[in-house]
Amino acid sequence: MTLAPQALATVPIASRRPGPSSPSLTHLQRLEAESIHIIREVAAELRNPVMLYSVGKDSAVMLHLAMKAFHPSPLPFPLLHIDTTWKFKEMIRFRDETVARLGLNLLVRRNEAGLAEGITPFTHSSSIYTQIMKTEALKSALSSFGFDAAFGGARRDEEKSRAKERVFSLRSENHGWDPKNQRPELWNLYNGRLRPGESVRVFPLSNWTETDIWQYIMREQIPIVSLYFAAKRPVVERGGQWIMVDDDRLPLRPGEVPEMRSVRFRTLGCYPLTAATESTAATLPEVLQEMLATRTSERSGRLIDHDEAASMEKKKREGYF
Amino acid sequence: MLGFAQTADLEASLERETTSQYLNAHERKSLLRFLTCGSVDDGKSTLIGRLLYDTQLLMEDQLAALAADSRRHGTTGDDLDFALLVDGLASEREQGITIDVAYRFFATEQRKFIVADTPGHEQYTRNMATGASNADLAVILVDARQGILTQTRRHSFIVSLLGIRHVVLAINKIDLIGYSQAVFDQIEASYRSFAEPLGFVSLQAIPLSARYGDNVRSRSAKLPWYQGPTLIEYLESIEVESDRRTAPFRMPVQWVNRPNLDFRGFAGTIAAGVVRPGDRVAVARSGVTTLVKRIVTADGDLPEAGAGEAITLTLEDEIDVSRGDVLAAAAERPEVSDQFAAHVLWMHDEPLIPGRPYLIKLATSVVGAIITHIKHRLDINNFAKLATKTLEKNEVGFINLMTQAPLAFDPYSRVHETGAFIIIDRMTNHTVGAGMIDFSLRRASNIHWQALDVDMNARAIAKGQKPVVLWFTGLSGAGKSTIANLVEKRLHAIGKHTYLLDGDNVRHGLNRDLGFTDADRVENIRRVAEAARLMVDAGLIALASFISPFRAERRMARDLFAEGQFIEIFIDTPLEVAEGRDPKGLYQRARNGLIQNFTGIGSPYERPEAAHVTITPDLSAEEAAELIVSYLDRGSYLGSATG
């Protein structure tokens, strides 16, 4: 797979568990148990859940936790991937590989109307493009399958407006999010009761940080897309950021010549909207090393966040994850 | 990463060795969840921002955004306004208020921390309780210039109510009182004497300045008289792991894992204690016991698992276990009851009304419940016990609760996970309250119904009819009693056994102690429904004619009856028509302000969503009665003797 060989070295399973002599759980064990608890509650209480699978590292961790939650049973719900058709090729390859390896039921949805209208990251602003190709496609997929719960991999540490997000986030019939209509969440008692048409977005990774995610990926040896590791890739520089030329659909501006540079990605999305960082970190330990020394937050690589102040919150009200 | 450092590739590189050491250390980190309480004026948000800043969790782009925000919205001149870091939602920021709980994360070499930031303002009680429910420790902020205020007492009380046993008293803005030891000592002493009855296991007072960072991470040279730990030192070292693992084993079953006929596992998170294969466990509600066969996880079977771990158990015997059951140490079982005394915090705009049907979720069980009695309300400022009939939003009460089915539980003070519950509104599904069980009022096994030899069916057969209650609802003056009277006459004429319950014969007797407040209206309907239930049990066709304006109460009445025993009849007469009739002159008096809470004028009428029979205004009373009798006939309520 795409893991660095060092990280695949087998670690005896017994050594990863606390023995009888180590009574208190480590932070990763507590986070893992909390996430599994949340995922099981949804499977038990909601009628028709689905797990959103974005192919990124957070999705990888969420999927791994779900597999653990129901072991030895298969996942009792399908995965849903919203394909804008602009994802990195490597993401799609990895997605299909993962589905085959774990025997998953994957649904893929696109906004065909948007495609027919020729909406691309180049013809429209990133916020309009995201709204139509991602948010609308997601809403319509959730409605057409009648899903009443959708797992997402969002974390509270990602962005300010997410710090207050519930684990169970209630959405109205049109998938809107009303900050004033969210239920209090006490203890580990989640209220999954819905009125007709309502749904919940569920965030089992709410309390994880980016560091936790990487540590857990290492501990559990979870395969992730190779784009997270540095390699020579064809890129162009735009507005001080490196954009990868993933295929020949990227319109080159006058004077732009793709050059090969050693880059990697901290977060993944549509390739024209995802900036790479220059890096030589080609293995998991090196990525961690680099991350510990870094001084920018991961969302800074997402171009959509720069659009306007409080942009995430606005998108959330409109139904973006 | 215990095995990580052993790989040859890593040992080859010093840089990688550093990473693996880092990972090793971080792998063994523990987690501390704490809550900060205090108002904006106490510098709470500033303190949290300072913690993030001092532990270097802020990235360059976040710092740049903070600097820009500080210039635009800040209150600290040219300095960074750390308070803006913990302010999330745009609309709140514009209004200058925070209305919720925000979670923040930082880590040191020793620990990872999750901070629940629970702002003050009106919703403080609800927000604080939410944050406190998952916290191991509370940091209570005091402005050194102000000392212990009413709100300090309030915060401390809620912290203790939610069972937090470790408290840090952060005496902030010590710079503004000249770093005075005398002031610090005086505040600490007065807090200790106040907090004595709250039962905190540990209490550490720390003088600090969040704005300038004194004693937050680094020791302050300006406070040489203070010998204790800095805030971060203390948070890193305090041992809060209580006796969760030494308590008797409890695991509420979340999900039955049944991939095929050969495997039947019970998935759940261990609430307390430790379990090993071979242990004898009981299904708390049924009392059936068996032995644990395996502890199954995706990483292989475990020899032992303890509190906080999410596992799947298989059992030696095929016994009846489903979601909502609690697997427990057979030798030390939880109590099982359907009546509890509990503290509840009300969190919704609609007040808590005794007698109104709610749902409660306790561990993995969801059951119907009513609050039978509010013993008292607690004034959270001075802990005084006050008499009350209802609980308003953000009020705390000590109540009696009755559930529709028995539940396995532990007192909250012993095991939070099996003693805490939320209260859910049956109509809106909102979470309207949170509760903590103190003790059971009686054991469920004592209240089994007396099994009687002559039962409802026997009585019904003797009468040649199917017993049922006809519940007439509608506005005052809609014609409920007129139509109910006509229906009863017709039934009587064909030899059926009936009884008509209406306001007049009930208000003067059974319910003469009740008035017209919301609480009394609910109790009125509850008694009527219970009386109707006895009549149905006696084999009668009971006709109940009551305005019964609230859906929740009609639902409560309906829930007392088996399927097919309750027929809701909506007399759908518009307000103008009913008011035009005004047979008792009540509308006139209500319009003149002489009657408060009159349905349709000062109090709402909630239309039935799915009445069995709806009588539209175009029908005469005779036609309406005919329609209802034919409905009964079609439903075979009237036996074979109908004409």
Complex ipTM value:
0.87
Say whether pLDDT at B23 is over 90: no
B632–A contact, CB cutoff 8 A: no
pLDDT of B83 strictly over 90? no
Distance separating the N- and C-terminal Cα atoms of chain B:
84
Residue B480 annotated as lining a ligand binding site: yes
- Report chain B residues whose CB lies below 8 A from the CB of A303: none
Taking only residues 84 to 143 of chain A, the set having a beta carbon closer than 8 angstroms to any beta carbon of chain B reads: none
pLDDT reported for residue B58:
61
Contacts of B183-188 with CB under 8 Å at 24 or more apart are: B183/B144, B183/B147, B184/B144, B184/B226, B186/B147, B187/B142, B187/B144, B187/B147, B187/B148
- Write out chain B residues lying below 8 Å of A191, CB-based: 361, 422, 424, 429, 431
Mean pLDDT to the nearest integer, B518-532 = 87
Per-residue pLDDT band for A307 (boundaries 50, 70, 90) equals: very low
Question: Do you find a cis peptide bond into A184, omega within 30 degrees of 0?
Answer: no
Mean pLDDT of A75-97: 96
Q: Which helix (H) or strand (E) holds B628?
A: helix B621-634
| Rounded average pLDDT over B265-279 | 97
List the alpha helices (DSSP H) in B464-566: 480-493, 503-507, 518-537, 551-559
- CB within 8 Å: B90 and A33: no
How far A212 CA lies from chain B's nearest CA (Å)?
A: 9
Laid out side by side, the sheet with B263-269 consists of B250-252, B326-329, B280-283, B289-296, B310-315, B263-269, B255-260
Higher pLDDT: B239 or B365? It is: B365
The region of weakest confidence among B119-123, B253-257, B476-480 is B119-123
For residue B87, which residues of chain A lie inside 8 Å, CB to CB? 160
Top pLDDT among B13 and B222 is at: B222
A255, with CB counted inside 10 A (0-12, 13-18, 19+), is: exposed
Give residue A231's pLDDT.
97
Put simply, the answer to whether B300 touches A73 (Cβ < 8 Å) is: no
**What tokens does B587 get?**
């509308």
Q: Is the pLDDT of residue A306 over 70?
A: no
Which of the pair, B640 or B322, is modelled with greater confidence?
B322
A interface mutation test: which of B9, B34, B393, B396 has the most A CBs within 10 A? B9
In this complex, is the C-beta atom of B304 within 8 Å of any C-beta atom belonging to chain A?
yes
DSSP count for chain A of H helices, then E strands: 10, 10
User: According to the model, what pLDDT value does residue B89 have?
Assistant: 45
Band (A296; pLDDT cuts 50, 70, 90)? low
Predicted local distance difference test score (pLDDT) of residue A313: 54
pLDDT at B313 over 70: yes
Q: Which residues of B251-289 are buried (b: 16+ CB within 10 A; e: fewer)?
A: bbbbbbbeeeeeeebbbbbbbbbbbebebebbbbbeeeb
Best CA proximity match to B103, nearest among A209, A296, A183: A209
Q: Cα(B476)–Cα(B470) distance, rounded to whole angstroms? A: 18
CA of residue B180 relative to chain centroid, distance: 43
Residue A194 has pLDDT above 90, yes or no: yes
Q: Which residues of A touch B1 (CB under 8 A)?
A: 11, 215, 218-219
Touching check for A21 and chain B: CB below 8 Å?
no
Measured CA to CA, the distance from residue B302 to residue B596 in angstroms comes to 65
Query: How many angstroms separate the CA atoms of B469 and B533, rounded?
Result: 8
Q: Work out the mean pLDDT of chain B and round it to a whole number.
A: 86
The residue among A12 and B594 whose pLDDT is bigger is: B594
Most confident of A222-231, B97-106, B573-582: A222-231
Q: Which positions 59-78 of B are in contact with A (Cβ < 8 Å)? A: 59-62
- B405 is written with which tokens? 């089915």
Measured between beta carbons, the chain B residues lying within 8 angstroms of A305 are: none
Domain boundaries, chain A: 26-215+311-318, 224-306
| Residue B374 or A309, more confident | B374
Please give the average per-residue pLDDT across B569-594, as a whole number: 89
DSSP string, B442-469: E-GGGGPPPP-SS-HHHHHHHHTS--EE
Q: Which residue of B has its CA nearest to A295?
A: B59
Predicted pLDDT at B518:
78
Q: What confidence score (pLDDT) does residue B519 get?
A: 82
Catalytic residue among B91, B548, B603, B620: B548
Its sign, for the CA torsion A185, B367, B547, B623, is: positive
Contacting residues of B for A297, CB less than 8 Å apart: 59, 61-62
- Chain B contact present for A180, CB below 8 A: yes
> Is B209 one of the annotated active-site residues of the chain?
no
- Of B116-130, B299-313, B434-448, B517-531, the range with the lowest mean pLDDT is B434-448
User: What mean pLDDT is predicted for residues B255-269?
Assistant: 96
A294 touches chain B (CB under 8 A): yes
Separation in Å, CA of B265 to nearest CA in chain A: 9
Q: Count CA atoms closer than 13 A to B552's CA, side-chain side.
A: 24
Find the closest chain B residue to A164 by CA distance. Answer: B102
pLDDT tens digits along A19-42: 333 457 899 999 999 999 999 999
Which of B85, B93, B241 lies at the smallest CB-CB distance from A24? B241
Query: How near does any CA of chain B get to the CA of A288, in Å?
Result: 7
- Inter-chain touch A16–B102, beta carbons under 8 Å: no
pLDDT category, B443, cuts 50, 70, 90?
A: low
In chain A, which residue's Cα lies nearest the Cα of B4? A11
User: What are the φ/ψ torsions at residue B294 (nearest 5 degrees)?
Assistant: -140, 155
Mean pLDDT of B595-610: 86
Residue B513's CB: how many other CB atoms inside 10 A?
7
Instruction: Check CB contact of A305 with chain B, cutoff 8 Å.
Output: no
- Which structural domains are found in chain B, ordered by start? 8-237 (3.40.50.300), 250-329 (2.40.30.10), 335-442 (2.40.30.10), 456-634 (3.40.50.300)
Judge whether residue B445 has pLDDT over 50: no
Task: Show the 3-state SS of B76-126.
Answer: CCCCCCHHHHHCCCHHHHHHCCCCCCEEEEEECCCEEEEEEECCCCCCHHH
- Classified as helix, coil or strand, A297 is coil
Residue type (1 letter), A88 = F
Q: What is the pLDDT of residue B123?
A: 66
A257 touches chain B (CB under 8 A): no
- The answer to whether the Cβ–Cβ distance between A26 and B312 falls below 8 Å is no
Percentage of chain A modeled with pLDDT above 90: 61
Residue of B9, B107, B241 lying closest to A6 (CB–CB): B9
Among A95-104, A220-229, B26-35, B357-366, name the one with the lowest average pLDDT.
B26-35
Residue A161 has pLDDT above 90, yes or no: no
Greater pLDDT, A281 or B22: A281
Whether the Cβ atoms of residue A95 and residue A108 lie closer than 8 Å to each other? no
At residue A201 the predicted structure's pLDDT band, cuts being 50, 70 and 90, is: very high
Confidence of residue A86 (pLDDT cuts 50, 70, 90): very high
**What is the spatial distance between Cα B172 and Cα B209, in angstroms, rounded to a whole number?**
5
pLDDT digits (tens, 9 = 90+) for B61-75: 667 777 777 777 666
Q: Which residues of A touch B312 (CB under 8 A)?
A: 71
B132-153 pLDDT tens trace: 999 999 999 999 999 998 889 8
What pLDDT sits at residue B26?
67
Interface probe, candidates B55, B59, B81, chain A, greatest A C-beta count within 10 A: B59
Q: Which amino acid is at B535?
A: M
pLDDT tens, position by position, B527-577: 999 999 999 988 899 999 999 888 888 888 888 888 889 999 999 999 999
Contact indicator for A199, A142 with CB cutoff of 8 Å: yes
Query: Has residue B391 got a pLDDT over 80?
Result: yes
Contact by Cβ (8 Å): B542, B469: yes
d(CA B301, CA B295): 5
Q: Provide the shortest C-alpha distance from residue A27 to chain B (in Å).
A: 5
Does the domain formed by A26-215+311-318 have CATH 3.40.50.620? yes
Which segment of A251-255, B41-45, B87-91, B479-483 scores lowest on mean pLDDT? B87-91
Q: Is B397 annotated as a binding residue?
A: no
Average pLDDT on A140-147 reads 93
Q: Taking all residues of chain A, what is their mean pLDDT, rounded to a whole number?
A: 85
Share of chain B above pLDDT 90, in %: 53
